Structure 1
Amino acid sequence: MGTITVITSGKGGVGKSVFTAGLGYALAGRGRRVLLVDCDAGLRSLDYMLGIGEKLVFDLADLVKGSCRPADAVYESPVKGLYLLPAPLETEDVVSPRLMKPLIHAFAPYYDHIVIDCPAGFGRGFRAACAPAGRGIVVANTDPVCIRNSQKAGRLLREAGIQETRLVISRFSEKSFRRLNCFEDLDQVIDETGLQLLGIIPEDLSVVEAVVHGKPIVNAKNAPAAQAFGRVAARFEGENVPLLHFHN
């Protein structure tokens, strides 16, 4: 059975969905079969980031309602081995935690990894996204409000029974970090969250351009962020890969 991981942040706008897509691309690039599950009802974006938005007919809500077969709601991305179960179009179609857990567990035997993109905040959508997961990743920027939300996200994941939770610092720019001068260094940021660091994704215009145009992030494989996704994916699968320091 594949691992099931929820990606959350608490605060919107930190690059959580971009990280979810990037991790999916990197894991698929390692030869894994990966299912991304978009739980952001009403604000879904992973289909666009994967370049398959125009293909969608069914989504997570249709599957729960019995309007389609499981295979009909899963779409293959342009990258071999990477698949998407899209979020409902309407916010009222958020799937309950009670239904979400057995639904996602039913997919687990067919994939090496299932990665769930959690909506912002800590409401019903958050609880539903966490319900099937055995692992968690909290995506954060280095501003104080985001760090405070990351603390809460880590606590709520533990309360949901997810004991293995790691931190990813996203869209990191050392120049901006030093200019804002909110923390002494990155070690203080990590300590404030109370989470173990999994990786750092640098701010990278090539990734932004790929997302805006619905192109695979791996098309910019030599870009710093794409390389960082690869290192995070390796650590995610238990490899001992050193952290790099970015100067951008």
Structure 2
Amino acid sequence: MGVITVVTSGKGGVGKSTVAAGVGAALARRRRRVLLIDGDAGLSCLDLMLGVAEEKVFDIADVICGAAAPAQAIYQCPWQEGLFLLPAPAQVEDIASPEVMRHLVPALARYYDHVLVDCPAGLGRGFESAAATASRALVVSTPDPVCLRNSSKAGLALAQHGIAQTRLVVNRFSGAEFVRQNVFHNLDEAIDMAGIRLIAVIPQDFALAAAAANGQAPAPRGKGVMALERLAARLEGEQVPLASLSKF
């Protein structure tokens, strides 16, 4: 059965879904079958990022109510072989309960190497459902005090769900901006505020964000893509050192 990872954040606007889509694509480039489950009901965006919005007919709510078989609601990303999406429902009222997710997600995970559940930001009902079946978690944060403090709260909530393997992804990092803000002396201080072990630093990459917004494949050698490639390798147990932050 595939490894189930929840991708979450303490607050919105940190690029969580871009990270989920990017690391999913990076894992697929490693010849893995990867399923992204969009858990952000009402505000879903992964169908746009993966280029399946026009093709989409069914979503996870249709699977749960029996209106569609899982195969009918899972869509192949057109620009990345091996990457698939189960879209979120259009209505918040249709969020799957934790009990339903505990049955559905492991059943789907039998057919994939990785399942990534993109969680809505914050710690509400959507978080409870998305975290219900995961064995590990990625908490995405930008390197500012508000996001990092909320990431700490998300880490505590994940621990209460029994998810011990929680790692921090610092997203949209710019060395020049980090220094200009003059809030932390170094990145270690920022990580300490989150209280979560670091797994990756993803640099600010406007080309990566633009590709995601347009449902297109990102440039293969872009700095954001390369950082996501390193993150994917770490998720598969490889010892990959962090890139020098001076390059960001």
Q: Which residue of 1 aligns with 2:223?
A: 224
| Conserved 8 A contact 2:138-2:169 | yes
- 2: CA distance, partners of 1:102 / 1:181: 47
Shift of 1:168: 0.5
| Conserved 8 A contact 2:109-2:115 | yes
- 2: CA distance, partners of 1:212 / 1:46: 10
Q: Which residue of 1 aligns with 2:28?
A: 28
Aligned length: 246
Q: Which residue of 1 aligns with 2:235?
A: 236
Offset from partner CA, 1:131-158 (integer Å, 9 cap, x none): 0100001001111110110100100000
Shift of 1:91: 1.2
Q: Secondary structure at the match of 2:110?
A: helix
Tell me which moved more, 207-216 or 14-23. 207-216
Letter in 1 for 2:107: A
2:9 is the alignment partner of 1:9: yes
- 2: CA distance, partners of 1:6 / 1:213: 24
TM value normalised by structure 1? 0.97
Q: Which residue of 2 aligns with 1:187?
A: 188
Letter in 1 for 2:19: F
Q: Which residue of 1 aligns with 2:159?
A: 158
Q: Which residue of 1 aligns with 2:96?
A: 95
User: Mapping of 1:56-135 within 5 angstroms?
Assistant: 56-78=56-78, 79-135=80-136
Query: 4+ residue stretches of structure 1 with deviation over 4 A?
Result: none
Q: Which residue of 1 aligns with 2:149?
A: 148
Q: Which residue of 2 aligns with 1:245?
A: 244
- 1: CA distance, partners of 2:133 / 2:47: 21
| Conserved 8 A contact 2:145-2:193 | no
2:199 is the alignment partner of 1:198: yes
Shift of 1:171: 0.7
Offset from partner CA, 1:31-74 (integer Å, 9 cap, x none): 00000000000010001001111010000111111111111110
Q: Identity of counterpart residues, as a percentage? A: 53
Q: Which residue of 2 aligns with 1:215?
A: 216
Shift of 1:245: 2.1
- 2: CA distance, partners of 1:171 / 1:181: 17
Unaligned runs of at least 5 residues, structure 2: none
- 2: CA distance, partners of 1:88 / 1:119: 12
| Conserved 8 A contact 1:28-1:82 | yes
Unaligned runs of at least 5 residues, structure 1: none
| Conserved 8 A contact 1:51-1:216 | no
Shift of 1:186: 0.3
Shift of 1:240: 0.6
Q: Secondary structure at the match of 1:44?
A: coil
- 2: CA distance, partners of 1:164 / 1:51: 31
Shift of 1:206: 1.1
